[in-house]
Amino acid sequence: MRLQWIAVLVAPCMVACAHSSEPAPSPLTVTQESAVLVNDVNDPAWPADLITLDSAVVTGDGRLRLFTRYGGGCRDHAAALVVGTAFAESFPPMLRARIAHNAKNDMCDALIAWTLEFELKPVRDHYRALYGSGSGALVLNIGGRLVTYAFQ
């Protein structure tokens, strides 16, 4: 009899927890180290929380450094550089890219400056697979900001 009462009291709690109103976790929970090649940079599987790109530069060792800002301050955010695989036939060839930003439901409104760095080796390897090995150059179109990446 006592076991039945426990089941009656615990069951509603288990049902309530199973139907939590919390959103499903984003696929991006930590900041990526390297650019991620994708078929569609606007794929909704990648988060799209607001982030402002102030400037971008390619370092001498083939990393893309992005100087960004976002509103937040109460949680650690995550980001990835997603780069489309379809080259626009221009000179040099161009790839679309964007910052996939996961604010993790940060409701604070401090203006945070965030410098991100991404390894561009996957982008270079993708270029070489289509255009041949050796040195080359391409343009990354990151939300309208054009950044040239030249490599040996």
SS3 55: strand
The neighbouring-strand residues paired with 78 are 102
Class for domain 25-151, per CATH? mainly beta
Separation between Cα atoms, residue 73 and residue 113, nearest integer Å: 10
Shortest CA distance to 66 belongs to which of 143, 152, 151, 150?
Answer: 143
Question: Whole-model pTM?
Answer: 0.80
pLDDT for the residue 27: 60
Residues 6+ positions from 15 with CB-CB distance below 8 Å: none
- Domain positions in the chain are 25-151
Which helix (H) or strand (E) element contains residue 121?
helix 121-131
pLDDT profile of the chain (152 residues), mean per 10: 39 36 54 96 96 97 97 97 96 97 96 98 97 95 97 94
